[in-house]
Amino acid sequence: MLIRAILLLVGCSLFTEVKGQQILDHKLDGSEQGKSLSMVLQELEKTQSARFYFLPEWTDTYVFTMQHRNQTLGEALDNFFMGSDLYYVVMYPNVVVIVKDPTQALVRRNAIQTAIREQKKIEQFAFGDPGKASKNQVIISGKVVDAKTAEPLLRANIQIGNTTTGTTTDDAGNFSLRLTPGAHVLNVSFIDFETHVIDLLAYDNGTLTIEMEKAAILLEEVVVNAQEDRELKTTRIGEVQLSMKELQRAPSFLGEADLIKQIQNLPGVTTVGEAASGFNVRGGSVDQNLILFDGLPSFNSSHVFGFFSAFNSEAIQNVSFYRGGIPAEYGGRISSVLDIRSRDGDFQKWGGSAGIGVVTSHLMLNGPLKKDKTSLAASFRTTYSNWLVNSIRTDYADLRNSSITFYDGTAKLTHIYNKNTRLSVSSYF
């Protein structure tokens, strides 16, 4: 056993920290009370498929005088070896070597290498002369403060090496530690502050001040992806694209989806009144807005005194609204541009949709005239508001004799010549 221990100790300078230390995480069950550490380790080798390398004369003096139920083996070893010249090295998750380390060189080297890999701040302190080191424990006291404000950090955690032992600062940021003379590594941590590592040579009592800096919060990159089913998509400065799918889901007047009403809900867009037609952009008047339907200007955006949009939502493919930074291809207006593109017909099969509302009804048909080459899309919308007005019983003759009606229709013929060329003929009445 001694030969095997010596061979393993030769390679201790090359060991690395192993994550997931399974045997050290094993919880004791209380049966260890009254047994020596050597006996407990030998029993664990039989039941836990673990290997421990040590000299019995080093560990026979350590006896479990009480139950350590629910305490891990690693915590028990830390308590036993605290203040002694023994130390354990984890070679693999289930292989542990117990060595004598009078100068704590292995502990110090392991902790310093770990701190360097994790890019932690390391500071060195030395107290006393190694040739005149006290045989008793030394007392290291000090204060933990904010490096920028010099305010004390209360309840800062000070951990000795990779063990579970240490202390915390009091309400004034002060702390005190009893250590065996020699080299030690202190890990000082506090919430929202960078971990501070102290490389300490303690051969006499000493006092130190630890200045900690706030940790920089590094955020990962944020990627914004456009989605077709979102109501608004911004593609360039001043441009907003409206999805017809979301437009039809939005609250509507008398069941009729209204493009102009949704435009009025955008930032920077207003209207002079609830029943007013048109919209005003950033203080401009209604006639300063350019409304295009398939590239042709439309001078009236509403029906029936502004209650209904002049554009049937079933016939619209997409809408681009420019309220600032208007591109050069649009001219003639100074406030905004509303560019409406109508739907192409389906090039594969015929289909359609129809709807009956409180005051309006619509019909939409589209399909191929020649499959994969030519398609037709046609829509028609009308109202029966006259019938509703005339059905109202009133003594006002003018209301009974009035007429409030509208209709609109669109037709679009599209022919594909090749993948780069297509011809579209649109009509609106």
Q: What is the pLDDT of residues 365-386, one digit of tens each?
A: 999 999 989 999 999 998 877 7
**Cα 300 from chain centre:** 46
Of 27-31, 184-188, 210-214, 232-236, give the lowest mean pLDDT range.
232-236
Between residues 424 and 248, the one the model is more confident about: 424
The whole-angstrom separation of Cα 339 and Cα 324 is 14
Structure tokens belonging to residue 208: 């130190």
pLDDT at 12 over 50: no
Of 56-60, 411-415, 418-422, give the lowest mean pLDDT range.
56-60
State the pLDDT at residue 19. Answer: 40
Once rounded to an integer, what is the mean pLDDT over residues 401-417? Answer: 86
Q: Does domain 232-341 have CATH number 3.30.365.10?
A: no
Assign a CATH topology to domain 2-102. Answer: Phage tail protein beta-alpha-beta fold (3.55.50)
Structure tokens belonging to residue 121: 């701040």
User: Tens digit of pLDDT for each residue in 279-303?
Assistant: 888 878 888 889 899 988 888 888 7
Between residues 254 and 11, the one the model is more confident about: 254
The whole-angstrom separation of Cα 8 and Cα 15 is 10
Q: Tell me how crowded residue 285 is: count the other CB atoms within 10 A of its CB.
A: 12
pLDDT at 352 over 50: yes
pLDDT band at 46 (very low <50, low <70, confident <90, very high): confident
Residue 76, classified by CB atoms within 10 Å of its CB into exposed (0-12), middle (13-18) or buried (19+), is buried
* 3-state percent breakdown (helix, strand, coil) of the chain, nearest 5: 20, 35, 45
CA angle, corner 112, sides to 107 and 114, nearest 5? Answer: 100
pLDDT band at 22 (very low <50, low <70, confident <90, very high): confident
Mean pLDDT of the chain: 79
pLDDT at 418 over 70: yes
| Three-class SS state of 81 | helix
Of 39-48, 71-80, 97-106, give the lowest mean pLDDT range.
97-106
User: Tens digit of pLDDT for each residue in 147-175?
Assistant: 888 899 988 999 887 666 788 999 889 99
Between residues 101 and 60, the one the model is more confident about: 60
pLDDT at 356 over 80: yes
State the pLDDT at residue 73. Answer: 84
Q: Which stretch, 6-10, 135-139, 284-288, 421-425, has highest mean pLDDT?
A: 421-425
Of 11-20, 203-212, 236-245, give the lowest mean pLDDT range.
11-20
Once rounded to an integer, what is the mean pLDDT over residues 341-369? Answer: 88
If phi > 0 it is left, if psi is from -120 to 50 it is alpha, else beta; for residue 104 that is left
Compute the half-sphere exposure of residue 316: CA atoms within 13 Å on the CB side of its CA: 25
Is the separation of the CB atoms in 210 and 198 below 8 Å?
Answer: yes
pLDDT at 20 over 60: no
Structure tokens belonging to residue 354: 């129809």
Assign a CATH topology to domain 119-212. Answer: Immunoglobulin-like (2.60.40)
Q: Is the full-model pTM beyond 0.85? A: no
The closest alpha carbon to 412, from 323, 314, 270, belongs to: 314
Once rounded to an integer, what is the mean pLDDT over residues 123-127? Answer: 86
Domain boundaries, the chain: 2-102, 119-212, 232-341, 351-428
What DSSP string runs through 297-356? E-S--EEGGGTEESS-GGGEEEEEEESSS--TT--S-SSEEEEEEEPPPPSS--EEEEEE
Percentage of the chain lying above the pLDDT 90 cut? 12
State the pLDDT at residue 70. Answer: 79
Structure tokens belonging to residue 245: 């799918």
Provide the sign of the torsion angle of the four alpha carbons 76, 78, 81, 85, taken in this order.
positive
pLDDT band at 55 (very low <50, low <70, confident <90, very high): confident
Once rounded to an integer, what is the mean pLDDT over residues 251-267? Answer: 75
Q: Tell me how crowded residue 360 is: count the other CB atoms within 10 A of its CB.
A: 21
The closest alpha carbon to 366, from 354, 380, 378, 348, belongs to: 378
The closest alpha carbon to 163, from 193, 186, 139, belongs to: 186
User: Tens digit of pLDDT for each residue in 218-239?
Assistant: 778 888 876 654 444 445 677 8
State the pLDDT at residue 252. Answer: 65
